[in-house]
Amino acid sequence: MGGPLRHRSRAPLFHKIRMPLPSPILESLNDRRLALIGAGVIGRILIQRLQFLHFPRKQLMLCDADPARGARLQREFGLKTCPLADECCRADIWLIATPPAAALPTLRTLAARLRPGQVVISFAAGVSLVRLEAETPLGVAVVRIMPNALSLIGRGVNPVAYGRGRTLQSMAEVQAILNALGESIVLEDDQMDWAVGLTGASMRWLLPVLEGMTQAGLDAGLSAADARWLAAKMMAGTAALALETDKSFDEMKALTSVQAADEDAIRRIFRDAARRARSMAAEMAQSLDQESGEAVE
């Protein structure tokens, strides 16, 4: 006998997905030049999402402190690259996707090129708006975004904090970029360290649950593909139940009579993990302060 019959349609691979072009990208970023600094995980997600949505290549530049790495990025993505310190690295909207320790030195390198009306968006965890604004001239809108890996498929939830210099236009431009990554929620700057645990790192903690559910399916004799599909569908369906109804958590749990896990222990694990992530972000900020010889705000 074969495996269990089921009806499903698998989502195609990321680069094969076809979606209509969201109007906010066209309307809010029309003729605006973007410069991306940093092409690690978050930088690459930004490139992939913007390219997926057919953002004009001529309006997106990659700036890198390492010319050799810049050349590799140019070959990989087909975008114009420019050394970070070179005058050719110019933009209306600056996307700072460097490691946290490099965010402020990057802004210092760009200082002479920053002008009122421009937007600086930092994706660096642990670097506050106060510290970012100290390195930028008045009139430059400064924004923090806590990136989420689910942005790779346009399903991210990316908290954002707006600093000084924001205007309706700059907020619309930032929102267009956020729309390309998924959904967003506006937070105060002092809440952004919590966002590391609430969104930035939480996928890492949910995956072991998904992995355990998948392993249980394998133990039951399902194929690897079926076990993964079933586990993922149950997790996605549970999330949809929480989003699409107003049932309390106790009411949702009461929908099934089977209780085979220590729910209190599971709840504590996730809550404690979020607290640890917040503490790690705060410690990172303190370390950056000490390295730069500045007092912690």
The helix, strand and coil proportions of the chain, stated in percent and rounded to the nearest 5, come to: 55, 15, 35
Which candidate, 58, 57, 76, places its Cα nearest to that of 68?
A: 76
Q: What is the per-residue pLDDT for 291? A: 65
pTM of the prediction? 0.82
Q: Which fold has domain 202-290?
A: ProC C-terminal domain-like fold (1.10.3730)
Q: What is the per-residue pLDDT for 283? A: 80
Q: What is the per-residue pLDDT for 199? A: 83
Which candidate, 29, 98, 28, 17, places its Cα nearest to that of 58?
A: 29
For residue 63, list its beta bridge partners: 37, 82
Length of the chain (residues): 297
Concatenated DSSP letters for 113-163?
G--TT-EEEE--TT--HHHHHHTS-TT-EEEEE---GGGGGT-EEEEEEE-
- Give the sheet arrangement for strand 156-162, strand by strand: 80-83, 60-64, 34-37, 93-96, 119-122, 141-145, 156-162, 182-186
DSSP letter, residue 4: -
Q: What phi and psi values does residue 145 have, to the nearest 5 degrees?
A: -125, 130
Handedness of CA 186, 91, 151, 57 (dihedral sign): positive
Q: Using only C-alpha atoms, what is the Rg of the chain?
A: 22
- 37: part of which helix (H) or strand (E)? strand 34-37
Q: What is the per-residue pLDDT for 198? A: 82
Say whether 167 sits in a helix, a strand or coil.
coil
Residue by residue, pLDDT tens for the chain (297 residues) are: 445 445 444 443 333 334 444 444 557 888 899 999 998 889 999 999 999 888 998 999 999 888 788 888 888 889 999 988 888 899 999 999 999 999 999 999 999 999 999 999 999 988 999 999 999 999 999 999 998 889 999 999 999 999 988 999 999 999 999 999 999 999 999 999 888 878 877 888 889 999 999 999 999 999 999 999 999 999 999 999 999 999 999 999 999 988 888 889 988 988 888 888 888 877 877 777 666 554 333
Domain with CATH 3.40.50.720 in the chain: 14-191
- Kindly state the tokens that stand for 120: 């600086």
Classify residue 175 as exposed, middle or buried by CB count within 10 Å of its CB (0-12, 13-18, 19+): middle
Q: Which fold has domain 14-191?
A: Rossmann fold (3.40.50)
Q: Are 124 and 103 in contact (CB under 8 A)?
A: yes
Domain with CATH 1.10.3730 in the chain: 202-290
Tell me how far apart the alpha carbons of residues 92 and 82 are, in angstroms, rounded to a whole number. Answer: 15
HEC secondary structure over 251-296: HHHCCCCCCCCCHHHHHHHHHHHHHHHHHHHHHHHHHHHHHHCCCC
Tell me how far apart the alpha carbons of residues 10 and 144 are, in angstroms, rounded to a whole number. Answer: 35
